Amino acid sequence: MPQTSRPAPMPPLAIPAYTATTALGRGREAQADALRARRGGLRRNDFGHAALDTWIGRVDGLEQAPLPERFMRWECRNNRLAWLALQQDGMLDAIAELRERVGAERVALVLGTSTASIGETEAAYAGLETGADGQAQFAPAMRRPIVHTPHSLGDFVQHATGLRGPCVTVATACSSSAKVFAQAARLIDAGLADAALVGGVDTLCGSVLYGFNSLGLVSTQACRPFDAARDGLSLGEAGGFALLERKHAGSTLQLRGYGESSDAHHMSTPHPEGLGARLAMGDALARAGIDAADVGYLNLHGTATPANDAVEARAVAALFPDTLHASSTKGWTGHTLGAAGIVESIFALIALQDGLLPGTLNSRDADPACGPQVRFDNADRVIAHAMNNSFGFGGNNCSLVFGRAA
């Protein structure tokens, strides 16, 4: 591994509010309850007209929950899930309190997504009409330009929350909503904002299901991360949000560090030695000012594809002691793509707050190529620091360290 200079420790950022909505249910408690009971949210694929033979993590109720009339300009499945997630755990009230306290212009909005509202664009092309000039065109109801862009999510959430600070969309595949924490930390450090709403949303659509299937990455079974017989991922959908600010008297949870890297190796395959993953984890630990042995729980990217899990496990084994409790939670939710970073950061925060360290659902026989840090069973213990790995196509790597205020 090439030697590089490590970043200096960063000032911690308070996390006064956080929430997630996944196939496990709506809000933080639904996630914690399912993790504790080892109750997964995956089901046989029932999405779309010609459903693939696979398993998915689907959020119930989206089809029956259109956006309020005042938001119909942004109507689509992805923004419905964003609105649903925002309504959980008092998040809208917490945003309103922060907005009034520091000013709407001083709260940044940084959101991650992989496909944004592409499902609505698919529907628009499926329903093309012939115009007066004989050319194909979108049906009138589909002529909402902002919905057919990657920034659909950010534009919607900005209007829904009344925030008027810097508004950024991060689209780096599966690391998108982990990188939002790093982007927000830089905006606050640069003095461009005093606080930030970060998050991510991705919903199931044909492009995702058939796209990953065309790469041979989708399993016909519920995914089994780090299992010796794993053969592919299960796709899911989710939305989640968290608030970040320099100080908050009532908050004990903190973002302590982040690390980012680029493999520059392959469009869809990680570096075989996990060099980028190790750089990201090492930088996150350095910014947090801690050693690898100080981490009590690591939420692994753990997609259940043969190559990715083995590479990540090797990178983890090169940095962390055997005593680390590391796991993948994708057996509960599926791989939620651009929302994976925020959802699995929420799981890391739950581990910190509740002492609930998830294992790895559905997996039974550990792959001997994976290190002793990967755990299949849950554990309960008080920890001081938790970490999350999110690695995306193109070698977009991001690791985050969370801790509790002293």
Among 346, 398, 392, 395, which Cα is nearest to 114's? 392
Task: Write the DSSP string, 40-88.
Answer: --EEE---SSS--SSEEE--TTGGG-PPPGGGGGG-SHHHHHHHHHHTS
Residue type present at position 151: H
Buried b vs exposed e over 45-69: b needs ≥16 C-beta within 10 Å? bebeeeebebbbbbbeebeeeebee
pLDDT digit string (tens) for 207-228? Answer: 999 999 998 999 999 999 999 9
All structural domains of the chain with their residue ranges: 17-404
The tens digit of pLDDT for each residue in 64-90 reads: 999 999 999 999 999 999 999 999 999
pTM confidence score? 0.96
370 catalytically annotated:
no
Neighbouring CB atoms inside 10 A of 86's CB total: 23
Q: What's the CATH code, domain 17-404? A: 3.40.47.10
Active site residue 205: no
Active-site option among 301, 325, 370, 398: 301
Which residue out of 76, 148, 174, 370 is catalytically annotated? 174
**Number of residues in the chain:** 406
Which run of H or of E encompasses 210?
helix 206-214
148 is catalytic: no
pLDDT in tens, the chain (406 residues): 445 688 999 999 999 999 999 999 999 999 999 999 999 999 999 998 767 999 999 999 999 999 999 999 999 999 999 999 999 999 999 999 999 999 999 999 999 999 999 999 999 999 999 999 999 999 999 999 999 999 999 999 999 999 999 999 999 999 999 999 999 999 999 999 999 999 999 999 999 999 999 989 999 999 999 999 999 999 999 999 999 999 888 889 999 999 998 876 555 566 666 678 999 999 999 999 999 999 999 999 999 999 889 999 999 999 999 999 999 999 999 999 999 999 999 999 999 999 999 999 999 999 998 999 999 999 999 999 999 999 976 678 999 999 999 7
Tokens of 248: 């908050």
Marked catalytic residue, from 271, 325, 335, 385 = 335
